[in-house]
Amino acid sequence: MAPALPQNIQQKLEQTLAQSRQWLCKPPLQSTPRIVSVMSPGLSNYSVLVESQRRFVVRIDGVRPSSHGLNRQTEWRTLETANRAGLAPCPRYFNPELGSLVCDFLAPDNSQEPDTGDIAQLLRKIHRLPARHHRLNMAARILRYEQQLEQRGQSPKGDLKRCSSIISDLVHDISRHPSDSVLCHNDLLLANRIYSGGTLWALDWEYCAMGSPWYDLAVVIQGDALSSADATTLIHTYLGRTPHESEQILLQKYGCIYRYLELLWYLALDRPVLAADNIEAKTASLISLLQQSPA
């Protein structure tokens, strides 16, 4: 068995593998998949590479999805349509009671050098996927994390508390002038993209929801710390034109919101993964970004 996994996760993995005859495979699997390796554990989930005739990735929830505002039903349905569109690996099995999801394993190409133009085209295709009922509510997500911290006696203080007030104003301002809503990935960072068979694929769709395409773009720019030149290429390729001033302003605002949400996400984790100096550095980066952003 996989010694790197906590016992409760191992049990859920075993139960998921025992259900392999029910996985959506043609032809059906004839033997229970064997564990090949435990992939790098995520901060909130566990992924395991398994094999039976071919390879699959089994993901087991490490946290309650509701604590992060996730909708596993939306993720499953979106994976189905994204796979048909050639954007995501094929989903094979989904069991919300076990917190498990099985998808085809995509063998990575030797080169994974990011291409900003490819990312822009991938985002364009994602944003054309069918609409879903689940929507990203920025204010609710921020409030959820802040309440979790408050319950632990770790409410934002000092600089982070001042940032919270500014972010609240930004979210309120954006909500007064909503942009078009599309199906978004909302977490298309480098770790969630892979070149396989010469194609760029999107992985880990757990945060997918209806929302602003400008937030999806801001996640890539801020989360991957793109240079000014790469950010410009991303936006120009995505739009097929130069962005208007109002669009640039919206992108900056969403960038600030993403940075604050990212900080809250780290702080709200059950097991700390960032040292105090890293939190301070991220807070300083957020303050700098807020100072650059128009009011």
For 227-243, the pLDDT digits (tens) are 999 999 999 999 999 99
Task: Please provide residue 119's backbone torsions phi and psi, each rounded to the nearest 5 degrees.
Answer: -65, -40
CA distance 285 to 145: 20
Kindly report the CATH class assigned to 7-104. alpha beta
Give the model confidence (pLDDT) of 183-212 as tens digits.
999 999 999 999 999 999 999 999 999 999
Half-sphere exposure of 193 (CA within 13 A, CB side): 25
Place 157 in a pLDDT band, splitting at 50, 70 and 90. Answer: confident
Tokens of 45: 């989930």
pLDDT digits (tens, 9 = 90+) for 167-183: 999 999 998 887 789 99
Burial of 177 (0-12, 13-18, 19+ CB in 10 A): exposed
CB atoms under 10 Å from CB of 166, counted, come to 17
| Angle formed by the axes of helices 245-268 and 138-151, nearest 10° | 30
Pairwise CA distance, residues 213 & 234, whole Å: 13
Could you tell me how many residues make up the chain? Answer: 295
Average pLDDT estimate for 264-280:
80
Q: Which residue has the higher pLDDT, 213 or 63?
A: 213
| Model pLDDT, residue 154 | 85
In angstroms and rounded to an integer, the radius of gyration of the C-alpha atoms of the chain is 20
**Residue 268 confidence class, pLDDT cut points 50, 70, 90:** confident
> What's the chain's average pLDDT?
92
State residue 2's pLDDT score. Answer: 47
pLDDT for res 1 = 45
Q: Which two tokens stand for residue 59?
A: 């993901």
Is residue 26 over pLDDT 80? Answer: yes
pLDDT for the residue numbered 42: 66
Strands 54-61 and 91-95: unpaired
DSSP calls for 26-81: SSPPSSPPEEEEEPPP-SSEEEEEEEESEEEEEEEESS-GGGGT--HHHHHHHHHH
Give pLDDT, residue 156: 83
Distance CA 14, CA 90 (A): 21
CB of 250 closer than 8 Å to CB of 179 = yes
The SS3 of residue 136 is coil
Mean pLDDT, to the nearest integer, of 273-281? 79
pLDDT band at 66 (very low <50, low <70, confident <90, very high): confident
User: Can you tell me which residue has the tokens 């992060």?
Assistant: 68
What digits encode the pLDDT tens for the residues 104-145? 999 999 999 999 999 999 999 999 999 999 999 999 999 999
**50 three-state secondary structure:** strand
Instruction: Provide the token pair at 192.
Output: 């969630």
Residue type, 235: I
CA 3 to chain centre: 27
Contact (Cβ atoms closer than 8 angstroms) between residue 30 and residue 46: no
Three-state DSSP class for residue 38: strand
Nearest to 119 by CA among 247, 235, 253: 235
Question: What's residue 176's pLDDT?
Answer: 86
CATH of domain 116-292: 3.90.1200.10
Would the pLDDT of 18 be above 90?
A: yes
Q: pLDDT exceeding 90 applies to what percent of the chain?
A: 77
221's enclosing H/E stretch is helix 213-223
Task: Determine contact, residues 163/282, Cβ cutoff 8 Å.
Answer: no
Only one residue has tokens 């099985």, namely 102
Spatial contact of 31 and 11, defined as CB atoms under 8 Å apart: no
CA gap 41, 60 in Å, rounded: 10
Q: State percent of the chain over pLDDT 70.
A: 96
What are the domain boundaries of the chain? 7-104, 116-292
